[in-house]
Amino acid sequence: MSQTLGVLARFENPAELIDAAKKVREAGYEKFDCHSPFPIHGMDDAMGLKRSPLGYIVGGMTLTGASIGMGLQYWIAAVEYPLVISGKPFFSWQAFIIVTFALFVLFGAFGAVLGMFHLNRLPRLHHPVFYSDNFARATDDAFFVSIEVEDKNFDEKKTQAFLTSIGGKDVELVAGE
Amino acid sequence: MKFDNKTYMLLETGSFARKAIIVGVVGLLLSVVGAFMDHAQFFQAYLTAFTFFTTIGLGGLFFVLIHHITGAYWGVVMRRVAENLACTLPFMGLFMIPLFFGMHDLFHWTHAEAVAHDPILQWKAPYLNTTFFIIRNIIFFVIWAWLARGLRKLSLAQDEGDVSSLAKMRRKAAGGTVLFAITVTLFAFDWIMSLDPHWFSTIFGVYVFSGGFLGALGLLSLLANMLRNNGAGEIITAEHTHDFGKFLFGFTAWWAYIGGAQYFLIWYGNIPEETIWFIHRWEHGWKGVSLFLIIFHFIVPFIILAFRAAKRIPVLIVSIAILVLTMHYVDHFWMINPTFNDHHFQISWMHVTTLLGMGGLFIWWLFWKMASAPIIAMNDPKYQKSVEHTVH
């Protein structure tokens, strides 16, 4: 049983794709995406993408890492198993800075990588646009706009007509099993 | 002042330069009066200002060197400004001359009678002696002047269409970084570390350099913002101040990292001959300066610069750059002055007059250099890419 997942339109070059992205956004579509063989400058603005919240994820993770680093050492050295080492106080924070800093960086790096995966919905092994045979060219020489069926303005015929009207070629319904 | 879009020249810097030179001359005259009142105090203050401005000039030179050897494109629009900043080094060499007459006031190891009773200083005498000190420091400034002026000259030739100068600049910069590392380390050892001749720290040169580069980035951010507001706004944009902001952010952390590494090993080893340097900076009234340094040289700018707005909104960039430069002076004040006043905190009016005096002439020289040739390296192959550069 076939199910409609969205529509796909092909554009000739990056400039056309940016132009198309602006028009799709202005037409009120929200659940759409652009696909190109390489990153295109200015695409984020054209699609109206907001700034990534990744920085705040990393910021939160670094503070967590630093707290864990310092807390762990404090708990071991001053609470649970106090040992006098080279005549220094139990809670010698100077000595603990290194591990604190290391966990600060480590958690930040984890936050950056895993946060990026999460925000990009990765790992993702399949995507509806792959049902289109045409779409293989997205890694070669073609530029695509896809609009998902979940979008509130989506209408099989009107959306296809709209994409054709803004210069889309090979406009097709993408349907999967 | 005004930036001319056709010739890429900085026009009408006259009144600003005049104000700077008036401040400079008045400041220096007052300092000279101070020198007659208390020459030891004068030389301490003068040395603080001298290392403060010299390390900023060195930071400018480093920016140019690293720019060439990495082939970076984002900063091409600001490269000429950094070249001019590096060209303050020969000028700072002139300010070094009076210090040669104050060595007896500054350096304990110049006192023959003290060295005679001190086996450590005797052992160090082949390096720490007046003749060699003066010769090598002149050589350092000659090397820096040769690098700074040479790179600027090649860069100006590039403006005229000389395509071979790019490769020449890169070659000069590659060798230059090696010379730079050695000379800056020894400069820091000589003028700051040897004030306390028994004390030593192998990372000290790196520490002085890290602060100097941070100071230079602060000044370059200010100048970028100034050019942006005076007609060069289509060439130097928020994207470039953003990158300077990133650099500031990174090097704020790096300064703390190096300073922390220096402190950490000495704290861990806990050997009296090493800890004395930090004890001088922690006890008898200096604790406040040390804490002030940690908070405002590292923690506050680090937190502020983590935010995007701090790198893009002019008023925030200017504020943070002024904070960084102020703290760079505090850093040098903290390195130099507790050695002489280990019983109590002390600051003299001569610290202000030497800073203003040298600063006025430094700014005057810098603006004279900036106005004397196109302020943008517009013939660099990466120029257009630099103008269009955007930060992600």
Q: What SS3 string covers A73-127?
A: HHHHHHHHCCCCECCECCCCHHHHHHHHHHHHHHHHHHHHHHHHHHHCCCCCCCC
What domains can be seen in chain A, in order of their start residue? 3-50+127-176 (3.30.70), 54-119 (no CATH)
Question: Distance between CA atoms of B236 and B159, rounded to whole angstroms?
Answer: 18
Q: Between chains, do B308 and A41 touch, taking CB under 8 Å as contact?
A: no
Question: Distance between CA atoms of A114 and B201, rounded to whole angstroms?
Answer: 40
How many Å separate Cα B154 from the centre of its chain?
23
Q: pLDDT truncated to tens, each residue of chain B (392 aa)?
A: 787 777 787 777 778 888 888 888 888 888 888 888 888 888 999 999 999 999 999 999 999 999 999 988 888 888 899 999 999 999 999 999 999 988 888 888 888 888 888 888 888 888 988 899 999 999 999 999 999 999 999 988 888 888 888 888 999 999 999 999 999 999 999 999 999 888 989 999 999 999 999 999 999 999 998 888 888 778 888 888 889 999 999 999 999 999 999 998 999 888 888 888 998 888 888 898 999 999 999 999 999 998 888 888 888 989 999 999 999 999 999 999 888 887 788 888 888 899 999 999 999 999 888 888 888 888 888 888 788 877 76
Q: Between chains, do A94 and B308 touch, taking CB under 8 Å as contact?
A: no
Q: By CA distance, what is B307's nearest residue in A?
A: A55
A51, A87, A97 ranked by CB distance to B260: nearest: A97
What is the model's pLDDT at position B319? 92
Question: Distance between CA atoms of B51 and B37, rounded to whole angstroms?
Answer: 23
What is the model's pLDDT at position B344? 81
Q: By CA distance, what is B267's nearest residue in A?
A: A94
Q: How many CB pairs under 8 A join A and B?
A: 18
Question: Distance between CA atoms of A7 and A163, rounded to whole angstroms?
Answer: 9
Question: Which stretches of chain B are DSSP H helices?
Answer: 14-37, 39-70, 76-86, 88-100, 103-106, 112-116, 119-124, 130-159, 165-191, 204-227, 238-269, 272-280, 287-293, 300-305, 309-312, 314-340, 349-371, 383-388
Contacts of A94 in chain B (CB under 8 A): 263-264, 267-268
Please provide the distance, in angstroms rounded to a whole number, between the alpha carbons at the two ends of chain B: 32
What is the model's pLDDT at position A1? 47
For chain B, the domains span 2-388
Residues A22-80: tens digit of each pLDDT: 888 888 888 888 888 988 888 888 888 888 889 899 999 999 999 999 999 999 998 99
Structure tokens given for B241: 């101040």
A51, A87, A94 ranked by CB distance to B267: nearest: A94
Contact predicate B248/B306, CB 8 Å: no
Give A105→chain B minimum CA distance, Å.
12
Going by C-alpha positions, the residue among B377, B374, B360, B350 that lies closest to residue B46 is B350
Structure tokens given for A23: 């028009």
What is the model's pLDDT at position B7? 77
* Of residues A176 and B237, more confidently modeled: B237
Does the N-terminal peptide bond of residue A123 adopt cis geometry, omega within 30 degrees of 0? yes
Residue B1 identity (one-letter amino acid): M
Interface test mutation site (partner A, options B264, B266, B275, max chain A beta carbons within 10 A): B264
Contacts of B267 in chain A (CB under 8 A): 94
